């Protein structure tokens, strides 16, 4: 197999891992909500709006919701950047290593957010993932010039 081709396609593995994280967050959110709905026998009519959901859900069931919302912020930039690197054929091992750092610390961020939710621990994992992402972006901009 051509090394260049392998390197270009390998940048898509962190993309798949990130998308799988989105699925895991959604699954966690679904299970957490479903448990509360069954335990409290909440009728569907009381879950019709975001406000009514917040009123009926304990904080522990809202943490996955907040994490899922976060998933559509910084990770979307990561996904777009990885697709840019793939399409332009500019991905290399440096980008790939940084991409895996980003993904690993997004998983850590999610584990913290959906479990014991220590804000400082969550922030540190967020910061490390962002440093990896912004480094990738700066590298891509410099390489594009």
pLDDT the model gives residue 94: 95
Q: What is the mean pLDDT of the chain?
A: 92
If one compares 7 and 50, the residue with the highest pLDDT of the two is 50
CA distances from 4 to 14, 56, 92 (A): 17, 53, 8
Please give the distance of CA 107 from its chain centroid, rounded to a whole number: 7
Please give the distance of CA 113 from its chain centroid, rounded to a whole number: 11
What average pLDDT does this structure show over 94-103? Answer: 98
Q: Which domains does the chain have, with CATH numbers?
A: 3-144 (1.20.120.550)
């Amino acid at each position: 197999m051509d090394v260049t081709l392998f390197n270009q396609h390998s940048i898509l593995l962190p993309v798949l891992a990130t998308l799988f994280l989105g699925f895991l967050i959604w699954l966690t959110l679904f299970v957490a909500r479903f448990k509360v709905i069954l335990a409290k026998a909440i009728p569907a009519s009381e879950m019709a709006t975001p406000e009514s959901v917040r009123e009926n859900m304990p904080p522990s069931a809202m943490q996955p919701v907040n994490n899922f919302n976060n998933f559509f912020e910084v990770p979307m930039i990561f996904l777009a950047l990885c697709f840019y690197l793939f399409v332009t054929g500019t991905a290399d091992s440096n980008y790939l290593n940084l991409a895996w750092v980003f993904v690993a610390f997004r998983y850590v961020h999610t584990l913290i957010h959906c479990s014991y939710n220590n804000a400082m621990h969550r922030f540190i994992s967020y910061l490390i993932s962002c440093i990896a992402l912004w480094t990738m972006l700066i590298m891509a901009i410099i390489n594009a010039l």
